[in-house]
Each structure stands twice: as structure tokens, then as C-alpha cells.
Amino acid sequence: MKTRRPLAILAATAITGLGLTALATPATADTTVTVSQTFQVTPSSITGTSVTLINGSNQALVVVSQFLSDGDGACSVDKNPFCNVQQNRGTATFDIAPGADGALVRLTDPNDINTTFATFTVTYPDAPAAGGPAPVIQQFEKPATGTCDEAQPEGLNWGGASSGGWGESWAQWANEGQGGTVCTRTLAYNNSTGTWQVQ
């Protein structure tokens, strides 16, 4: 009789844990952008790893954004051929680059890419979300010999951060307040993976 109560508590805890896990799983967002006949864009903002454009206008569109690619490179203004979407319900899918956080995408005229018909923004899901930990700057005094990467002290690879990524800078606190060269890097928290990453 005494063993049934702990088993019942364990089972209830497991079921509750499964329920909390299900609640914590994010819903899949729609990453389709539709351009109307009059160049209205719906929705005006996308969060995802890719975006599918449906062009409902009678005008072919060139897609311009350093944060989008079509598999043959970034959709820059000097890409040859341009990233594009054909007219009359033409469809194309583009990858969103990590680091995009409200990045502007321009839909332009193929004959003059300086003429913009419409815009929307894209965000890659690992971009820092509001309320997450702020980026952290790490520094230590640069040794007289060797590189910063070689001299990295233990304990600085927080929560999944990799070693390295150090640059050189100057800081007043070095050399007992006299100032000097320091090794510096910035760690940013990735909300989607729950780890710190070198920026």
C-alpha cells in the first residue's frame, strides 16, 4: 500500500512534466509573404529560417537583401543573376541568414533596382529576443608573448560558448589602472538554443 502513493506521485509528476514540455514548444510560424496586385505585402514581418514569396502582381520582382539567399549566394544588388520572383502568382523561397533581426528586404523593379515597389522585414529565430540576457564583454590583460586565443584563461567559455574569438583592445583597468592592451570578445545569448555564443 505504501509503494502505490510514491508511484502515483511519480506518475503525476511525469504527466505534469510532459504537459509543461508541450506548452514550452513554440508553434510553427507561417513564413509566406504575399505581394498583392498593388504591391501590398502581407505580412510585413517574418521570423523564420526561410521565407516564401508569392508575387500576385503583374510585375516580376527583384529581391534585394544581404540577409536572404537563393542557394547561389546573397541577394545583393550586384548578384548576377538577381534573386527574383516571377509575376502572376510566381513563387520563390529564400533562406534567411542567421543574425537577421528586423532586416529590410526590398522588392524592386528588374529594370531599375533603385525603384522599390515594396518592403518587408525578416528575423532569424536565434536573434536575441527582448528580455533575454544582454551581451557580455569579456576581457583579460594581453600577455607579453603569444596570442589572445592561446592565453585565454579557464572559465570564460560560459554555457556552451566556444574558445577563441579574441581581439585586442585598450582598457584603463589594465596594468593596475595605468591602462594597456587587453584581449576582448563579446558573448551573446542565443535564446533558441539556450547557450552563449562568441559574436
Q: Residue 199 has what pLDDT?
A: 80
Asked whether residue 5 is assigned to any structural domain, the reply reads no
C-alpha–C-alpha distance, residues 46 and 28, integer Å:
12
- Residue 93: closest CA among 82, 84, 101: 84
Domain match, 164 and 104 both: no
The beta strands (E) that lie in 16-70 are given as: 32-35, 41-42, 45-47, 50-55, 61-69
**How do residues 76-101 score in pLDDT, each as one tens digit?**
888 888 899 999 999 999 998 888 88
Range of the domain at 173: 136-198
Question: How big, in percent rounded to 5, are the helix, strand and coil portions of the chain?
Answer: 15, 40, 40
Split at pLDDT 50, 70, 90, the class of 176 is confident
N- to C-terminal Cα separation, the chain: 57
- CATH assignment of the domain containing 114: 2.60.40
Within 10 angstroms of residue 4's Cβ, the number of other Cβ atoms is: 8
